[in-house]
A and B are shown apart, each in its own frame.
Chain A
């Protein structure tokens, strides 16, 4: 079974703090993704990576950055957390960029509250 592990289920941070969300996958997938999920807005793609050290912006990258130093690990960074970044954050991975059947496998999510 594919396993995507997010390091924290719940996080509470203060405005202005630097926040790191970590994600690890164990299936040698090329692609990794970060989404946020908010009521009424659905899943929105923040950033994705199709290879080590490669990244591309998704639909809502403002206020976020990412790091992928190893194939299995993809980190989401909130440089200076703000209250409007309170959300459920979901990491996902999929096999390869070249495949159209690009099934994404999700982690359990991190519920972040910024006070």
Chain B
């Protein structure tokens, strides 16, 4: 089983739709959870991060972590064409010698159609 699983999509939605992006993971040591957005031919940029379980909201974006299910989500409300990008989840553990390292999902390609 891979440490982090993410549906690659592609996901295509109309403008204004609510988008749900998800990752599952197997390593119970993961404590920090991040979402990166990557536009075509650019480097990933940090969108949101959360610690342990719970929700975090930033404008139209909400990140959720359910550690009991080993499942994280990113919701985008009122999606815009400018949200069209690849979204990568990433995680890090607090135990062991690898707490510098992020484990990434492979990314979900999202297209928001005007």
A interface residues, Cβ below 8 angstroms from B: 4, 31, 40-43, 45, 48, 50, 90, 92, 94, 97-109, 111
Contacts and interface: CB of A to CB of B under 8 A. Distances in A.
B66 to A, nearest CB: 19
B32 A108 contact: no
B111 to A, nearest CB: 16
B106 A108 contact: no
B42 A109 contact: yes
Contact of B100 (A41, A48, A109, A111): A48
Interface residues of B, number: 26
Interface in B59-114: 88, 90, 92-94, 99-102, 104-107
Given A42-B105, A42-B107, A102 B43 contact: no
Given A94-B100, A109-B43, A100 B49 contact: no
Nearest to B95: A100
Interface string B7-22: 0100000000000000
The 10 A-B pairs with the shortest beta carbon distances in the complex, nearest first, are: A42-B106, A106-B43, A100-B94, A43-B104, A100-B99, A97-B100, A108-B43, A106-B44, A109-B43, A107-B43
